[in-house]
Amino acid sequence: MNPSAGGFLSRGWPYLALAVFAAGFAVRLLLTGDRVPALKHALHGTRKVFVGGKRWAAVWLALAGAHAIGLIFPRLVCAWTAVPWRLLALELIGFAVGLGVLAACLRSAWLHLRRPGRDGWSLLADGADAAFLSLLIVSAVSGLLTAALHRWGSQWAAVTVAPYAASLAHGRPTPAFVEQLPLLVRLHLFAALAAIAVFPASRLALVPLVLAHRALGAAGRALAAAAQPPRAWARRKLGALVWPDAEIRWVVRPTAEAARRPAGPSPAWWQQLRGEGAAAKQSGNKAV
Q: Three-state SS string across 45-107, please? A: HHHHHHHCCHHHHHHHHHHHHHHHHHHHCHHHHHHHCCCHHHHHHHHHHHHHHHHHHHHHHHH
Among 28, 24, 23, smallest CA distance to 210 is for 28
Between 134 and 244, the more confident residue is: 134
Distances (CA, A) of 134 to 15, 73, 108, 129, 187: 21, 30, 10, 8, 13
pLDDT at 165 over 80: yes
Q: Report the amino acid identity of residue 242.
A: V
Alpha helices by DSSP H, listed for the chain, are 3-7, 13-31, 36-46, 54-72, 74-80, 84-113, 123-149, 153-156, 161-169, 176-179, 183-198, 206-233, 239-242, 256-259, 268-274, 276-283
Query: By mean pLDDT, which of 41-50, 78-87, 169-178, 264-273 is the weakest?
Result: 264-273
Q: How much is the pLDDT for 7? A: 72
Q: What is the pLDDT of residue 191?
A: 94
Lowest model confidence (mean pLDDT) among 100-114, 161-175, 272-286: 272-286
Tell me the mean pLDDT in the region 36-60. Answer: 83
Mean pLDDT of the chain: 80
Query: Checking phi first, is residue 115 left (phi over 0); if not, alpha (psi -120 to 50) or beta?
Result: beta
The pLDDT value given to residue 256:
58
C-alpha to C-alpha distances, 227 to 115, 118, 217, 234, nearest whole angstrom: 47, 46, 15, 11
* Residue 4 in this model has a pLDDT that exceeds 70: no
Contact 287, 280 (CB under 8 A): yes
Q: What is the pLDDT of residues 232-253, one digit of tens each?
A: 777 676 655 655 555 545 445 5
The per-residue pLDDT for range 208-237, each reduced to its tens digit, is 888 888 888 888 888 878 877 877 777 676
pLDDT for 279: 47
Task: Kindly calculate the radius of gyration of the chain based on its CA atoms and give it in whole angstroms.
Answer: 35
Q: For the residues 17-21, what does the mean pLDDT come to?
A: 94
Domains in the chain, ordered, with CATH?
A: 3-219 (1.20.950.20), 249-283 (no CATH)
Among 42, 55, 30, which Cα is nearest to 203's? Answer: 42
